[in-house]
Amino acid sequence: MLERRPREDGTEVTFVLPREDPPGPVSVVGDFNDWQPGAHTLEPRKDGKRAVTVALPGGTTQSFRYLAAGDYWFNDESTDDCDGANSRLHT
């Protein structure tokens, strides 16, 4: 699930997943972090989920995926659209 908050210079996007599904550490990787695993790892929240927030520039399209333990890649079903195997969002 994605939570978006407009900013003066773009959009703040929070990537949200259930705390234990999939199990183990999960990071969001994409255009905004040069596809570097671990650069944006989801952390536990008080609401029982885990999340990470990334500030993105406005007027761009960003491709991304989640990477979980065991080299398990998956997409976010709440995105704007897909680009091949990747999820995409528009800021």
Rounded Cα gap, residues 48 and 50, in angstroms: 7
Half-sphere CA count of 46, side-chain side, radius 13 A? 0
Instruction: Give 63's strand partners.
Output: 88
Which amino acid makes up residue 71?
Answer: D
- Give 78's pLDDT tier (boundaries 50, 70, 90): confident
pLDDT digits (tens, 9 = 90+) for 46-77: 999 999 999 999 999 999 999 999 999 999 98
Under 8 Å between Cβ of 27 and 41: yes
For the chain, give every domain's residue range. 2-78
pLDDT at 83 over 90: no
Average pLDDT, the chain: 94
Q: Model-level pTM?
A: 0.92
Q: d(Cα 38, Cα 13) in Å, to the nearest integer?
A: 17
**pLDDT for 81:** 85
Write the CATH number of the domain with boundaries 2-78. Answer: 2.60.40.10
